[in-house]
Amino acid sequence: MKRTRWAPWRAGRGTAGRWVAGGVLVCLVGIGAFLGIAYRSGLPPVSPPKVETFPAETLARGAALAAIGDCIVCHTADGGVPYAGGRALATPFGTLYSTNITPDPETGIGTWSTDAFKRAMRDGVSRDGSHLYPALPYDHYRQVHDGDLDAIYAFLMTRAPVVAPARANDLIFPLGFRPLLAGWKLLFLHQEEFTPRPDRDAAWNRGAYLAEGLGHCSGCHSPRNLAGAEETGTKAYSGGLAEGWAAPALNGSSPAAVPWTADSLFTYLRTGVDGRHGAAAGPMGPVVHGLSRAPEADVRAIATYIASLSADRPGTAPKTPALPERTAEAARVNPAGASLFAGACAGCHEDGAPMMTQGRPGLSTVTALQLDRPDNAIRAILQGFHAPTGPAGPAMPPFAASLTDTQVADLAAYLRSRFSDRPAWTALETAAATVRQEESQP
Ligand code: HEC
Ligand code: HEC
Ligand code: HEC
């Protein structure tokens, strides 16, 4: 089974020590907090609510909100039934499995009351009183209003029940001991229900509510501390990691070649591709897939809010597509990369190629080539690219089987020097080998 790496902070290389340190920190606080707040009582089971009890309007709203919350992404195993859980989420602490959130009374949440559901979503406590891992992003979901959680509850309770027992997690000692999570919560779980800002308009506030709450955008786009909690304040949205991909900064330090606007964000978030910025690859694909099914006004609101985060970015004139001199220089320095590009990539990506005349983003505007880390470019080359929504034009084939690590490194170095002014990437061959190895993990 392919594992989803739930570890937005997972740096991939050389950070094991930091995580052990973080783990120890959490343990110490956890033990301290143990006697205090570790114990949460179980809530009584209820008989599963009848489908007819929920108005159609509530169900439709719940479906849209669940799409923005990405519940299906984490709660569906590859090839599995939606919401029945069982997806493996690799973390620096071991593997966690998502659980069944269909209304099956024995193995799902069929006997959960709305109160039990809201407690899980806000406080990360299961119906039986045990603490849940923050892989369920309750630090975000606790900002969601009551009525919206009721609607999501109604939506889930009206799915077809599926019998799917939880799989045992495989975490390093002692983190399998759930009461320790009380310590993590004591330190990091302080978010309040969202309150609108009076100095902003309704669209901005709606966008902020959705992005900070259900959308949990900063869960991937912000860096994380040693204990895996998001950095806040000025570090919020300054870029993070998700499943080995870099989630670019969305604040004033955005590395995008062309500054994002609310309109281009809307197009990107709604369709997965914006002609002046690139396409949504990797873990951003499922996010876009969810947003493509959400109400259009909500996606516009999210775009308005996200655009405001980088409003202080020093304006950059749109870069001209790579100049001929630049292309010649890149080829002179790296002839191997240039000829690989001409043979394997130019048919789609070179100026004037059929794909480029359809208004697709040119590589000079793609953020993957502007980032400090080469991971996204390498992953795109090895895995290829499928549009996350609809029949949105050509797909990029995976090159993992046809290119060696040296060739991937040559190509990445060539792309960087041809399409970006930023410093050259280093240790590319090792990076390619690491990505390849991570992807081949069972
Ligand atoms: C990033 C991945 C992720 C997303 C997104 C996510 N979940 Fe989860 N969820 C998990 C994991 C993992 C668990 C199990 C945690 C544990 O075992 O401690 C879980 C547990 C739960 C539980 C507790 C189930 C139980 O039996 O204790 C509920 C309820 C739940 N999720 C509902 C939702 C809803 C509703 C959404 C969307 C709004 C959602 N989740 C989105 C990963 C996720
Ligand atoms: C599961 C992790 C994850 C979540 C959640 C997530 N993103 Fe992303 N996002 C990524 C990754 C990874 C990329 C880089 C994709 C690529 O290289 O093609 C990305 C790319 C983007 C980009 C393009 C940035 C650029 O300069 O090219 C935007 C804009 C964006 N995300 C907005 C959002 C918004 C808004 C939300 C919340 C609704 C969100 N993301 C939630 C992981 C995530
Ligand atoms: C069949 C057409 C096709 C071929 C061949 C192709 N690509 Fe792509 N590539 C795409 C499409 C489609 C995208 C998505 C972005 C877009 O729409 O422009 C993309 C995106 C990318 C991205 C950006 C990924 C991101 O995270 O945003 C990079 C980098 C890239 N390609 C490099 C290459 C390299 C290097 C080669 C040759 C080894 C190659 N491509 C061959 C079609 C192709």
Q: Is residue 220 in contact with ligand 2, taking CB distance under 6 Å?
A: yes
CA of 188 relative to ligand 2 center, distance in Å = 23
Summarize pLDDT for 122-159 with one digit per residue, the tens: 999 999 999 999 999 999 999 999 999 999 999 999 99
User: 75: Cβ below 6 Å to ligand 1?
Assistant: yes
Indicate whether residue 149 lines ligand 1 (CB < 6 A).
Answer: no
Residue 279 CA to ligand 3 centre (angstroms): 9
CA 145, CA 16: separation in Å to the nearest integer?
37
pLDDT category, 5, cuts 50, 70, 90? very low
Mean pLDDT of 213-218: 98
The DSSP result for 14-27, as a single string, is S-HHHHHHHHHHHH
Residue range 389-396: mean pLDDT, rounded: 69
Residues with CB under 6 A from ligand 3: 273, 278-279, 281, 344-345, 347-349, 355, 360-361, 366, 368-369, 376-377, 380-381, 385, 394, 396, 399, 411, 415
Q: Cβ–Cβ contacts within 10 Å for residue 439, how many?
A: 14
Pocket perturbation via mutation, ligand 2, pick of 6, 89, 287 by most ligand atoms within 8 A of CB: 287
The reply to whether ligand 2 has any atom less than 6 angstroms from the CB of 5 is: no
For the chain, the average pLDDT equals 88
For residue 219, report the distance from its CA to the centre of ligand 3, in Å: 26
Ligand 1 close to Cβ of residue 77 (< 6 A): no
Q: What is the pTM of this model?
A: 0.93
Tens of pLDDT along 306-354? 999 999 887 665 555 567 888 999 999 999 999 999 999 999 999 888 8
The span from the CA of 98 to the CA of 100, in Å, is 7
384 neighbors 395 (Cβ within 8 angstroms): yes
CB 190 within 8 A of CB 124: no
Residue nearest atom 36 in ligand 1 by C-alpha distance: 71
| Cβ–Cβ under 8 Å, residues 87 and 75 | yes
Task: Identify the band that residue 215 occupies on the pLDDT scale cut at 50, 70 and 90.
Answer: very high
Non-local CB neighbours of 242 within 8 Å, separated by 6+ positions: 5, 7, 8, 220, 282, 283
How many other β-carbons are positioned within 10 Å of the β-carbon of residue 406? Answer: 13
In whole angstroms, give the CA distance from residue 373 to residue 14. 14
Cα three-residue angle 20-182-121, rounded to 5 degrees: 110
Span of 32-41, 195-204, 276-285, 411-420 with lowest mean pLDDT: 32-41
Cα–ligand 2 centroid distance for 373 (angstroms): 15
288 lines ligand 2 (CB under 6 A): no
Spatial distance between the Cα atoms of 416 and 330, rounded to a whole number of angstroms: 9
Q: Is 237 in the pocket of ligand 1 (CB under 6 A)?
A: no
Secondary element (H or E) of residue 68: helix 56-68
Residue 28: the pLDDT is 55
Strand partners for 97: 88
7 lines ligand 2 (CB under 6 A): no
Distance 45 CA to ligand 3 centre (A): 51
Domains of the chain with CATH codes = 16-188 (no CATH), 202-309 (1.10.760), 324-440 (1.10.760.10)
| pLDDT score of 195 more than 90 | yes
